[in-house]
């Protein structure tokens, strides 16, 4: 029964995470991530991967705080990363079962650093690393929907990176062309 619950929780988290990466609004992105982390953490707890589960649930607080900072259009202080890193490491020390649990001590720290950044495109680039590590961790712990989630997140991140990079280039190019036409029009009228 726990195996099935683990997979269901992972599937819900998967859908929410995919939705979040295509949202341009950083505040909505954080809100969706917050809800997804609840299901993601539960998927690991039901599979008895306690370091991953507890650190994922702690990440809910991290995402909530980042959401609040972003709503106020403020960047959290650097100590924010340090405090959460200490918490993740402490949970890891208390609940570690196997050496590969170290992955789930490192990955939430990497997520914290990424979420601390302002630029959504840089966040997308940075999130590829921890998501790749979580693919392997999830497979080891037989949380297959969470492994699929991490794999799809990597794919979605790459697609989003390409999409927004191309979209921004196209808009910049269109704006430059319009500016050139406006300047040409002004020059011919003078």
Tokens 């961790």, residue? Answer: 137
Q: Taking the model in full, what pTM does it have?
A: 0.74
Q: Could you tell me which of 32, 30, 38 has the C-alpha nearest to residue 68?
A: 30
CA atoms in the 13 A half-sphere facing the CB of 183: 6
Give the pLDDT score at 142. 87
Give the pLDDT score at 40. 86
What tens-digit pLDDT sequence spans the chain (190 residues)? 788 998 899 889 888 987 887 787 877 887 888 888 899 899 989 988 899 999 989 988 987 888 788 788 888 888 988 999 999 999 999 999 989 999 999 999 998 888 878 788 888 888 899 999 999 999 998 888 888 888 988 998 898 889 888 776 655 555 555 555 554 544 444 4
- Whole-angstrom Cα distance, residue 86 to residue 93? 10
């Amino acid at each position: 029964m726990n195996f099935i619950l683990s997979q269901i929780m992972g599937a819900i988290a998967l859908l929410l995470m995919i939705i979040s990466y295509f949202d341009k609004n950083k505040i909505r992105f954080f809100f969706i991530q917050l809800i997804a982390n609840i299901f993601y953490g539960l998927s690991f707890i039901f599979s008895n991967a306690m370091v991953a589960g507890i650190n994922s649930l702690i990440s809910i607080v991290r995402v909530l705080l980042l959401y609040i900072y972003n709503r106020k259009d403020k960047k959290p202080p650097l100590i924010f990363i340090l405090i959460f890193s200490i918490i993740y490491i402490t949970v890891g020390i208390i609940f570690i079962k196997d050496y590969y649990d170290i992955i789930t001590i490192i990955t939430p720290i990497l997520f914290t650093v990424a979420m601390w950044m302002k630029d959504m495109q840089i966040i997308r680039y940075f999130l590829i690393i921890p998501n790749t590590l979580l693919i392997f961790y999830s497979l080891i712990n037989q949380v297959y929907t969470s492994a699929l989630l991490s794999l799809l997140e990597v794919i979605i991140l790459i697609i989003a990176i390409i999409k927004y990079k191309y979209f921004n280039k196209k808009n910049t190019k269109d704006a430059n062309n319009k500016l050139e036409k406006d300047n040409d029009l002004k020059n011919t009228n003078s």
